[in-house]
Amino acid sequence: MKLAQHLVFGILLTLASTTPALNRAPIVVVMKLDGMINPAAADFIHSTLQHAEQIQAQCLVIELNTPGGLLKSTRVIVSDILGSPIPIIVYVAPSGAQAASAGVFVTLSANIAAMAPGTNIGAAHPVTVGEAQDSVMMQKATNDAAAFVRTIAEKRHRNVKWAEEAVRKSLSITETEALKKNVIDYIARDIPDLLKQVNNKQVITSEGPVVLETADARIETVEMNWQLHILDLLSDPNIAYILLMIGFYGILFELYNPGAIFPGVLGVISLLLALYALHTLPVNYAGLALIIFGVILFILDLKIASHGILTIGGVISLLLGSLMLINVQTPVEVVRVSLNVIIPTIIFTTLFFVFALGMAIRAQRKKPTTGIEGMIGEIGVALTRLAPVGQVRVRGEIWSAESISGPIDEGTAIEVVEVVDLRLKVKHIQTSNK
């Protein structure tokens, strides 16, 4: 009996000692960031990092492919990475991917930076329409971004000189050049190859040195949830711009056609979504005001005979407002409304107001041809003497009529001036009756 008890105790002791070992099996969390760096991307990285901390993952791998994005969102991401208690690996992949503009900041801030073959890293210093690149404000923004990237590079012991030139001179290099210049740490074919290379490497986190154990780690992939997908979609300035214009169209069409309901509902929903989207973007309110002013000019041209001058002003205002709508605060930001979206939208808007609303207003101003209102201005003949009341024939119908221009003899031509309680108010027409 005692032997059996000892045997059971030994088995339980063995299970108790092995269970923590199983729980401590290394886990690597992998997330993919493919697209613009915006508030949705920042929230995605933040929530994934929190999840990785909760499950005590060995590290978080961010598979990055971005043309850039908002510097404000980039600062949030970099702050999360630098303050992370677990190691962060930024892996520019797959082949053909890039870490451009704001992506440079994110890559350099990682504990370990890696790239796949056939990728590149560097700033995409865009030329902004209508902005002088040597302006004082742009120079200040460039200096600020350069100081920010130098701080990151110094913190991670990377090539500070190249990092600054990537911002100031828009330099871009391949993965092999990046490895030689101490911009990245590894070149890896895929995630498993990357994890093998970084195994047993020591990195410094916010809580001190950590040695990675990734050779046999279990990979857990985290996907962006549907709420962040919607936010990511709305954070696209092109989508925000299109929603803004649809909102204007819908509301205006509802105002000109009361009771249509659907255009009004669609317009309000689109406008609210546009305002929410613009809230996440660096909006230039002067540009937004110009867009609204342009729409007002289109409407006024339908009401006032300006011979097209107001329409021309509306087109110019809409074009300038569209170009200015997104305020590019630094030269490393590539968030803007595309000309491929702006030009067709302006053309469509112009045609919409010139033809569609113009036809609607002309139809409203057109003289009625049916019903009581259609009688006004019609020509008829007096069937009896109107002194002042009698009968007339208009449109082949006999009506009770009252003269407002004195007595009218039988057979005299008359014109309908007004209709009151089914009685026609008529006046004499100076024509001979033959």
Residues 97 and 198 in one domain: yes
Average pLDDT over residues 49-53: 95
Residues 297 and 389 in one domain: no
74: number of CA atoms within 13 Å, CB side?
29
Give a yes or no: residue 210 inside a domain.
yes
Q: Which entry of 135, 140, 169, 338 is annotated as an active-site residue? A: 140
Give a yes or no: residue 230 inside a domain.
no
Distance CA(132)–CA(155), nearest Å, equals 33
413, 381 in Cβ contact below 8 A? yes
Residues 219 and 331 in one domain: no
Helix (H) or strand (E) segment spanning residue 20: helix 2-23
Coil, helix or strand for 217?
A: coil
Q: What are phi and psi of 88, to 5 degrees?
A: -115, 130
Nearest partner of 269 among 246, 293, 292, judged by Cα: 246
- Name the domain boundary from 166, 196, 225: 225
218: β partners: 27
Residues 191 and 215 in one domain: yes
Q: What is the pTM of this model?
A: 0.70
**Residue that the structure tokens 């915006």 belong to:** 38
Across the beta sheet with 172-174, what order do the strands follow? 98-100, 120-122, 172-174
At 372, the pLDDT band (50, 70, 90 cuts) reads low
423, 375 in Cβ contact below 8 A? no
Residue 209 DSSP code:
E
Give a yes or no: residue 434 inside a domain.
no
Show the domain range for 164: 2-225
* Those residues with Cβ within 8 angstroms of residue 382's Cβ, 6 or more apart along the chain or in another chain: 390, 391, 392, 401, 408, 409, 410, 411, 412, 413, 414, 426
What CATH number is given to the structural domain containing 383? 2.40.50.140
Residues 7 and 133 in one domain: yes
> Quick count: other Cβ atoms within 10 Å of Cβ 303?
9
Distance CA(332)–CA(335), nearest Å, equals 9
Give a yes or no: residue 217 inside a domain.
yes
Distance CA(329)–CA(142), nearest Å, equals 9
Per-residue model confidence (pLDDT) at position 212: 94
Residues 251 and 331 in one domain: yes
Average pLDDT over residues 138-158: 89
Per-residue model confidence (pLDDT) at position 21: 40
Supply the DSSP string of 312-381, one letter for each residue.
HHHHHHHHHHHHHSB---STT------HHHHHHHHHHHHHIIIIIIHHHHHHHHSPP-STTGGGTT-EEE
Dihedral angle sign, alpha carbons of residues 159, 161, 162, 167: positive
Q: Please write the tens of the pLDDT for every residue from 229-255.
A: 888 888 888 888 999 989 888 887 887
203: β partners: 210
Per-residue model confidence (pLDDT) at position 16: 46
Residues 156 and 262 in one domain: no
Catalytic residue list contains 2: no
Residues 314 and 276 in one domain: yes
Catalytic residue list contains 425: no
Residues 84 and 195 in one domain: yes
Q: Which entry of 101, 109, 270, 403 is annotated as an active-site residue? A: 101
Q: Which pair of structure tokens corresponds to residue 105? A: 């900041």
Alpha-carbon distance values, 401 to 63, 78, 408, 416 (Å):
86, 86, 11, 9
Residue 223 DSSP code:
-
**Residue that the structure tokens 């009896």 belong to:** 384
Q: Please write the tens of the pLDDT for every residue from 74-125.
A: 999 999 999 999 999 999 999 999 999 899 999 999 999 999 999 999 974 5
Give a yes or no: residue 154 inside a domain.
yes
Residues 213 and 104 in one domain: yes
Rg (CA), the chain: 37
Residues 60 and 183 in one domain: yes
Please give the biggest Cα pair distance in the chain.
139
- Name the domain boundary from 339, 365, 391: 365
Q: Which of 78-92, 168-182, 340-354 has the lowest mean pLDDT?
A: 340-354
In the chain, the amino acid numbered 299 is I
Give a yes or no: residue 433 inside a domain.
no
Termini Cα distance of the chain: 139
Distance CA(405)–CA(66), nearest Å, equals 82
- How many domains in the chain? 3
Residues 208 and 268 in one domain: no
At 133, the pLDDT band (50, 70, 90 cuts) reads very low
Nearest partner of 282 among 324, 222, 344, 223, judged by Cα: 324
Q: Please write the tens of the pLDDT for every residue from 5-16.
A: 545 445 554 544
